[in-house]
Amino acid sequence: MNCQKTLLEMAESYLRDAVAPNATILDQDPDALKTALQGLGSHHLLGLKLPEPRGTVDPRTAWEIQEAIARYSGALGFLQTQHQSAGSAISRSPNQALKAEYLPQLATGNRLLGIGFSHLRRQGPPLVKALPINGGFLLSGTVPWVTGFRLFSEVVLGAELPDRRAVYGIIPLVNCQEDGGKITWNAPMFLAAMQSTQTVSGVLEQWFLPEERVLFMQPAGWIHESDRKNVLNNSALILGCARAGLDIIAAIAQKKPLPFISAAYHTLNRELMTCRQNIQHLMFNQSREELDIWYSQALPLRVQAIDLAYRVAQGAITVCSGASNLAESQAGRVYREALVFGVSGQTSAVMEATLAQLMRSP
């Protein structure tokens, strides 16, 4: 327990000393972001979702570390969570050879991977198809989102089989051609937020995924079930973003001693503490065995957290006034980060509940 506390404190001190002062540059410059990511690795903070002995901490501490990362730099929070999710997928694989190859290298960031499977949530014809052939699968189609181009070297990709099951495997996150197959990653998108995270789309043409690079197969619709179980997984990032907005409001309350700024801070802070406590209780103290019941409590909390991050970010730009519009404004950055965290891993249920929350009368 003490050891875990120490890890959280050590993460906090790295983040306060090396990350927070550079938040603006980390939002814009991929090289600076990569250095900060390597800093997390050198503190063994990139294996937060790995089981022992490769993993570093219990789930609550892992959640709090991710919350702290997003508080001090949204771009770093967003980038590292892709790698942590890839690590979690690898750790759940029955492919022992791949586990032996990757698991020892993930926590330190000696091997860095992104993910590309949000497209499996989409309705209609699959964007990325996997055709079973002798010894593996041929992958074809368009991958709409992968974060971490030139920051990660590989990606855990999901593709749909003709029978609607999905195969997850590891492919390169570099442009390449091999045995008649081709992977083309497009130039990084121009984003409204977190430009430094180098988010790309890509095209796979008859790319051969050998069985040795396959992590697992999942039944049709599995991602939707998994989304329900994991609906609170990105709450750490959303609440870290809300905390970043509150930090700005607190700092401005010192500079502009207007009583209504402090009052707004205290009200929003109380709301954040309650939401955080409820999320932690549900995530770490409540069983998910009765998934419908658990999910009916968890979905509203995810949406409360999103709503809170949006409102706190609006509060931050409000108290920073015209300066919020400056390109290097911290409030402007946190506002844009809320945009990303509010839709990341979005399902149609989250979209619906977010809109319902927005339409709620005051």
Ligand X SMILES: Cc1cc2nc3c(=O)[nH]c(=O)nc-3n(C[C@H](O)[C@H](O)[C@H](O)COP(=O)(O)OP(=O)(O)OC[C@H]3O[C@@H](n4cnc5c(N)ncnc54)[C@H](O)[C@@H]3O)c2cc1C
- Whole-number CA gyration radius for the chain: 20
Q: Judged by CB under 6 A, how many residues of this single chain contact ligand X?
A: 24
Among 40, 68, 115, 305, which residue sits at the site for ligand X (rule: CB under 6 A)? 115
CA distance 180 to 316: 52
Stretch that binds ligand X, among 18-26, 33-41, 115-123, 161-169 (CB under 6 A): 115-123
CA distance 95 to 91: 9
Stretch that binds ligand X, among 9-17, 31-39, 260-268, 336-344 (CB under 6 A): 336-344
146 binds ligand X (CB under 6 A): yes
Contact 342, 241 (CB under 8 A): no
Query: Beta strands 113-116 and 154-160: pairing type?
Result: parallel
Contact 29, 196 (CB under 8 A): yes
51: left (phi over 0), alpha (psi -120 to 50) or beta: beta
Q: Which is nearer to ligand X, 9 or 352 (CB)?
A: 352
CA distance 137 to 22: 43
Tokens for 187?
A: 């130039």
Sequence-distant (6+) residues with CB within 8 A of 5 are 61
Tokens for 33?
A: 């972001």
147 binds ligand X (CB under 6 A): yes
Among 133, 258, 326, 351, which residue sits at the site for ligand X (rule: CB under 6 A)? 351
Among 117, 152, 207, 294, which residue sits at the site for ligand X (rule: CB under 6 A)? 117
| Min dist. Cβ of residue 120 to ligand X (A) | 8
Interface with ligand X in residues 71-90 (CB under 6 A): 82
Strands (DSSP E) found in the chain = 113-116, 128-133, 136-147, 154-160, 166-172, 176-178, 181-185, 199-210, 214-218
| Min dist. Cβ of residue 228 to ligand X (A) | 12
230 binds ligand X (CB under 6 A): no
Q: Which is nearer to ligand X, 78 or 265 (CB)?
A: 78
18 binds ligand X (CB under 6 A): no
Among 47, 77, 87, 116, which residue sits at the site for ligand X (rule: CB under 6 A)? 116
Stretch that binds ligand X, among 168-176, 178-186, 287-295, 344-352 (CB under 6 A): 344-352
346 binds ligand X (CB under 6 A): yes
Query: Which residues bind to ligand X, rule: CB under 6 A?
Result: 82, 114-118, 121-123, 144-147, 191, 194, 199, 340, 343-348, 351
